[in-house]
Amino acid sequence: MKHLHVTCAIIERDGLVLAAQRSAAMSLPLKWEFPGGKIDPGETPEECLRRELVEEMGVRVRVGESLPASTHRYPTFTVTLYPFVCSIEAGEIVLHEHAAVSWLPVGELRTLDWAEADLPVIESYIAVSVGVGGAVC
């Protein structure tokens, strides 16, 4: 079974978090995810994230704190996600691959139909957010 190693960006702005909806043509169509992509050979997760966000959304990001990696087994492949909390340094979001984006308060992240691999990432992010601020925004 194929095992993918993928970075994902939890992009924060003004107390909100970016969620991206996969296009109908992508695998896991119309599911929500944190944007990112497959790590190329010889590339660090941080380099991958910077490259992917320019390619997918036309933005440069500052890569910040990493969260615990999370592995999920789908029926036809396994994915390990390497999440990082990020902020946009330059550019405006232009969707090259996704169907839509949404900026949500942390407390509303669970309301979307997420790709299953992203669910543990959401939970660890919420735990960190609650731990820092004392309450979910």
User: Could you read off the pLDDT of 22-80 as tens digits, one per residue?
Assistant: 999 988 999 999 999 999 999 999 999 999 999 999 999 999 999 999 999 999 999 99
Residue 136 has pLDDT above 70, yes or no: no
Across the range 111-132, mean pLDDT stands at 90
Tell me, yes or no, whether 137 lies in a domain: no
pLDDT of residue 1: 86
Read off the CATH number of the domain in which 115 is found: 3.90.79.10
Tell me, yes or no, whether 107 lies in a domain: yes
Residue 135 has pLDDT above 60, yes or no: no
Spatial separation of the C-alpha atoms in residues 40 and 61, rounded to whole Å: 18
Tell me, yes or no, whether 84 lies in a domain: yes
Q: Which residue range forms the structural domain that includes residue 84?
A: 2-131
CA 82-53-57 angle, to 5 degrees, is 140
Tell me, yes or no, whether 123 lies in a domain: yes
Residue 120 has pLDDT above 50, yes or no: yes
pTM value is 0.92
Tell me, yes or no, whether 50 lies in a domain: yes
Tell me, yes or no, whether 136 lies in a domain: no
Overall number of domains in the chain = 1
Q: Which two tokens stand for residue 10?
A: 């939890």
Phi and psi angles of residue 97, each rounded to the nearest 5 degrees, phi first: -130, -30
Closest CA to 122 of 17, 24, 49: 17
Helix (H, G, I), strand (E, B) or coil at 8: strand
Tell me, yes or no, whether 21 lies in a domain: yes
